[in-house]
Amino acid sequence: MMLPLILAIIEDADDRELITEYYNRHRFTLLHVAQSILHDHGLAEDAVQEAFLRLAKNIKNVRPDRREVRSFLTTITRNTACDILKQRKPMLSWDALVYEPADDRVNVEEQIVQDDMIERLAQTLPIIYSTVFLLRYKHDCGDRTIAALLDISEATVRKRLQRAKEKITEEVMKKGVGCGA
């Protein structure tokens, strides 16, 4: 994962061993902290890597007290995750696109308008993404069902949905709010 990159900048073998120990002890907790802020595993890993890089650069100034190191790493991870979050462009709310009605009575006209909007959004996507997008948002299929239908992994389904959302967000940001007629 990211440990070899971090260890590559450390010259002293004892310091490398110490960083490895801290990494093995704290990485999952730090990933959880970053992911709870960012809601994106890749970005969370970036935040944790930054925390360990800062620790590696300052290893001579850090006392080996476990609480102090954990506190240092948690603070750096949290701050880095917040910085990453601030740098990201605002994303569309996908809850606004697909919602559950407050009661069981579904307004047919609203459903037709929603389905039309979903289809128009899907038309802006390459076929590899539009298929997954339509199965999820128009036909309400879960990851497992989509994966089985398309003979791909659930991870691939999630990645394609993520990329579809990113492409739609870019398109909407370029053209402004609304889908156009």
Q: Which residue has the tokens 């909407």?
A: 172
Torsion of CA 129, 132, 137, 142, to 10 degrees: -150
**pLDDT score recorded for residue 92:** 47
Q: Residues 6 or more apart from 76 whose CB is under 8 A from it?
A: 50, 51, 54, 55
CA 38 to chain CA mean position, Å: 6
Q: Is the pTM of this model over 0.85?
A: no
The answer to whether 161 and 133 are in contact (CB under 8 A) is yes
Among the four given CATH numbers 3.10.450.50, 3.30.420.10, 3.40.50.360, 1.10.1740.10, the one describing domain 3-87: 1.10.1740.10
Please list the pLDDT of the chain residue by residue as tens digits (181 residues). Answer: 577 777 777 777 888 888 888 888 888 999 998 888 788 889 999 999 888 888 888 777 776 666 678 888 888 888 888 888 777 755 445 554 554 444 444 455 565 666 678 888 888 888 889 888 888 887 778 898 888 878 899 999 999 999 998 888 887 777 654 434 3
Question: Is 94-175 in the same CATH topology as 3-87?
Answer: no
**pLDDT score recorded for residue 154:** 93
Q: Distance between CA 14 and CA 64 in Å, rounded?
A: 12
Please, what CATH class does the domain formed by 94-175 belong to? mainly alpha
The answer to whether 20 and 67 are in contact (CB under 8 A) is no
Q: Residues 6 or more apart from 70 whose CB is under 8 A from it?
A: 26, 29
Q: Which residue has the tokens 């909007």?
A: 117
User: Hey, where are the domains in the chain?
Assistant: 3-87, 94-175
